[in-house]
Amino acid sequence: MKTAVYTMLALAIASLGSGCVNLERSRDIGNPNVSGRTLALQVCSSCHGVDGNSTSPAFPKLAGQQEAYLIAQLKFFRGHNRIDPAGSEYMWGITRKLTDEQIEGLARYFSQQKDAPNVAGDPATVAAGKAIFENGIPDKGVAACAGCHGAMGMGKDTFPRLAGQHANYMMKQLHILSETNQRPAGAMMKPLVHGLTSTDLVAVTTYLQGISPN
């Protein structure tokens, strides 16, 4: 009888142990054997959503983002080369032990997700933002955003997709790029954003947030 009980206990413990090392459900960001896709579903989804469509504007939408851009940003966080407080507070610890393979898997997963529609803004504000995005403001030295981010804000390679992104998140990042050196890789944006007024920034981000996903 005792032998049977011990056997059952041993099997139960073994079962619990095997559940802890289930690589498909693991949240162990320090385990190089956990795939990027699994980390996306088990860890990143807490803030960015299972499909990359974050509901809180505090966290960027990653669905449909450029794969090369995501890889670059994750490596910047891992190497502490991106120090904006809101990002580094969360991302330095998460990326610290990620392998290049895991980072590529994460980027691949989110880049392949479908962007969900975001909130459209006031038509007049949207129109003003569209004009700035497509044409810039030449007399202020502000180049057309579309030149790097694409005609519909979809981005290309390491230039991020902006279409459908949360306006509040973009606004915060534009202020960081304009007023600080916390994102060195985005230094080229500093003189461009500096020429935009608060009204301009609201218009551009409102326009971009409402672009329908592709």
Q: How far apart are CA 89 and CA 83, in angstroms?
A: 9
Q: And the tokens for 198? A: 């608060």
pLDDT for 9:
40
pLDDT for 141:
87
Strand, coil or helix: 9: helix
CA-to-CA separations, 123 to 13, 23, 126, 130, in angstroms, rounded: 61, 48, 5, 10
196-214 as b/e, with b when 16 or more CB fall inside 10 Å? beeebbbbbbbbbbbbebe
Strand, coil or helix: 142: strand
Q: And the tokens for 208? A: 């971009």
Q: How far apart are CA 131 and CA 116, in angstroms?
A: 24
pLDDT for 18:
40
pLDDT for 205:
98
208, 163 contact by CB (below 8 A): yes
Pick the residue with more confidence: 192 or 124?
A: 124
191-207 pLDDT per residue, tens: 989 889 999 999 999 99
DSSP character at residue 129: H
Q: Write the burial class of residue 9 (CB in 10 Å: 0-12 exposed, 13-18 middle, 19+ buried).
A: exposed
20-57 pLDDT per residue, tens: 569 989 999 999 999 999 999 999 999 999 999 999 99
